[in-house]
Amino acid sequence: MNNFHIALFFLIGIVSSILFQISVASVVSTGNFNKDFYVLWSPTHVNTSADGHTRTLKLDQQSGAGFASNQMFLFGQIDMQIKLVPGDSAGTVLAYYMASDQPNRDEIDFEFLGNMSEQPYILQTNIYADGFGNREERIYLWFDPTEDFHAYSVLWNLHQIVFMVDSIPIRVYRNHGDKGVPFPRRQPMSLEATLWNGDSWATRGGQDKIDWTKGPFIASFRNYNIDACVWKGNPRFCRVASHVNWWNLNNFSTLTSPQRRWFKWVRKYHMIYDYCQDNERFQNNLPQECSLPKY
């Protein structure tokens, strides 16, 4: 075998190794909470069905509870069906989010703020990038999220982060890193869910406290899907666009025309707070991304 053939076989080996690593970079979750997640705290307040397909978190005067994914991810899409705490849930907070484990953390947050009975539920979203947040948006949900399960999703790729409710985009945060705007793109994140006492701020700025006689407070989860790049220590495999890492394909670099129409509908009829409109808070010096395109 001459040097050319040796070099060719060596090159083929390298390419095969890269393709293999790319092919195993993504995961479609098992659908079993016991296999894909571990309990963060208070296992007595976490209840999982015998088949592992449904899970509840409980909050009472003793404790809240939480769980987190066994794996960490860099880009992908996550979906979780959630039924929120029913009745008078004032002061409770159900958080469903992705978070890194570094001091200058990245986060992609859904936070469901408990409410007084008969009042609409508030969904707050937030994004931390390189350790800084203060990017809250709030909407009223257009349905009662305590009566049935609804899907809450995040699409996260190199181009954008899209928050979705039942496939309707409610928020978009674009990657304007080329203009100096922080964007979560380097740190892998785990998927977590927690239920806890937030009555110092969650409902009417902390005016409405938890009524423990209405407890215990229970939130339910089912039918989750994690289709994301599993962190193996090398970000380049997660940045590749392929049929496996489909979220990095050009088709998902911006909202589609129908998605834009839904997005505008949410912002027109259901948004109640946008940090990009809070000049008083930022002393007329809004964050840079507020003046840049959302899609």
CB 113 within 8 A of CB 202: yes
CB 169 within 8 A of CB 266: yes
Question: Catalytic: 137?
Answer: no
Query: Residue 188: is the preceding peptide bond cis (ω within 30°)?
Result: no
Question: Catalytic: 118?
Answer: no
CA distance 235 to 232: 8
Q: Which candidate in 107, 137, 192, 289 is catalytic?
A: 107
Q: Which candidate in 111, 137, 192, 289 is catalytic?
A: 111
Q: Quick one: 271 exposed, middle or buried, by C-beta within 10 A (0-12, 13-18, 19+)? A: middle
CB 86 within 8 A of CB 223: no
CA distance 175 to 75: 13
CB 113 within 8 A of CB 147: no
Active site residues: 107, 111
